[in-house]
Amino acid sequence: MDVTLGIIGGSGLYELPGLQGEWETIESPWGEPSDQVLRGTLDGTRMVFLPRHGRGHGLDPTGINYRANIDVMKRAGVTDLVSLSACGSLREDLPPGMFVIVDQFIDRTFARPKSFFGNGCVAHVSMAHPVSRDLGDRVEAAAKVVGVPVRRGGTYLAMEGPQFSSLAESQLYRAWGADVIGMTNMPEAKLAREAEIAYATVAMVTDFDSWHPEHGEVDIMSIIATMTQNADAARNLVATLAAATPPTREPCSTGSDMALETAIITTPEARDPALLAKLDAVAGRVLSRS
């Protein structure tokens, strides 16, 4: 499979210096994505960049059209997608400045469409292993080359927002075994899985949420300062990742590129043509066989 690397930039990461290309509009039947995409090459690697909150950060976590974002990345040919996200830490050993390559999620969002599928074409993809191990390996190697403090593995709790956690919530999430907390990786990870895109998350710690007795409530000014430092490190990580990305790759070892193989259960004659038309990019590989 030919590789096109996609990058979704979170808070503080609205552009990608070094990516040679043009901003372009890609239309989606799922509505308006967060912004145009910057499509081009970086160190010989085909890449597509999308700022999750839009340039200027005009979108809050609930207002992001996650379905349109993933759909336009798929239409742009993205095969491997790295999500860069600011987050809070729920662990003493994950201080601000630490990068966590997440491998599990707890979804506590409730006000966002979470699937491309539904009445008229029902599908159930497995989320047991929601991220690509192979892509995570490449991200981890790049982080180590750059010298970013990185931890491989961790559980990301996605909350609705836009408010930060109460103390009671923060303590509850720690008791559940979550490692970091953020507002944007769900339903993004679920939708990437449905679109058969290999997905990896780099959760960039900015604060200790509200549980830490020595840090108290979240301070937005401190977050912004750390976020700026993290964004600089993230740009270096992406450049290193691009340089090390092979032009082709083997099938994903965690099945990201085949997630829909047996997921659609609606019989062909019962499928809604209008919904099928919207699924042309996301599920075209399997729907074309029906």
CATH at 32: 3.40.50.1580
How does strand 45-51 pair with strand 37-42? antiparallel
Tell me the average pLDDT across 183-200. Answer: 98
Position 223 confidence tier, pLDDT thresholds 50, 70, 90: confident
Question: Is 219 among the residues known to form the active site?
Answer: no
Q: How far apart are CA 173 and CA 168, in angstroms?
A: 9
Q: How far apart are CA 77 and CA 26, in angstroms?
A: 12
Q: Is 189 annotated as a binding residue?
A: no
Q: Is 57 annotated as a binding residue?
A: no
Q: Is 83 annotated as a binding residue?
A: no
Kindly tell me if the per-residue pLDDT of 219 is higher than 70: no
pLDDT of residue 290: 67
Please state, in angstroms and as integers, the Cα–Cα distance from residue 19 to each residue in 25, 55, 205, following that order.
17, 16, 25
pLDDT of residue 224: 77
Kindly tell me if the per-residue pLDDT of 73 is higher than 60: yes
pLDDT of residue 212: 82
Residue 201 sits at φ, ψ, to 5 deg, of -115, 130
Q: Is 183 annotated as a binding residue?
A: yes
Reported pTM: 0.96
Domain that holds residue 248: 5-287
> Which tens digits make up the pLDDT trace of 22-51?
999 999 999 999 999 999 999 999 999 999
The structural domain count of the chain equals 1
How far the first Cα of the chain sits from its last, in Å, is 23
Across the chain, mean pLDDT equals 95
Tell me the average pLDDT across 108-132. Answer: 97
Kindly tell me if the per-residue pLDDT of 52 is higher than 60: yes
> Which tens digits make up the pLDDT trace of 234-249?
999 999 999 999 999 8
Question: Is 71 among the residues known to form the active site?
Answer: no
Please state, in angstroms and as integers, the Cα–Cα distance from residue 122 to each residue in 15, 58, 129, 178, 279, following that order.
36, 33, 21, 30, 12
Active-site pick, 35, 207, 232, 280: 207
pLDDT of residue 226: 84
Position 211 confidence tier, pLDDT thresholds 50, 70, 90: confident
Q: Is 11 annotated as a binding residue?
A: yes
Residues 6+ apart with CB under 8 A from 128: none
Tell me the average pLDDT across 173-193. Answer: 98
Kindly tell me if the per-residue pLDDT of 173 is higher than 90: yes
Tell me the average pLDDT across 86-91. Answer: 95
Position 215 confidence tier, pLDDT thresholds 50, 70, 90: low
Tell me the average pLDDT across 53-59. Answer: 96
Tell me the average pLDDT across 84-101. Answer: 96
Q: Is 209 annotated as a binding residue?
A: yes
Active-site pick, 35, 71, 103, 209: 209
> Which tens digits make up the pLDDT trace of 122-152?
999 999 999 999 999 999 999 999 999 999 9
CA dihedral sign of residues 212, 216, 219, 225: negative
Q: Would you call 228 exposed, middle or buried from its count of C-beta atoms within 10 A (0-12, 13-18, 19+)?
A: exposed
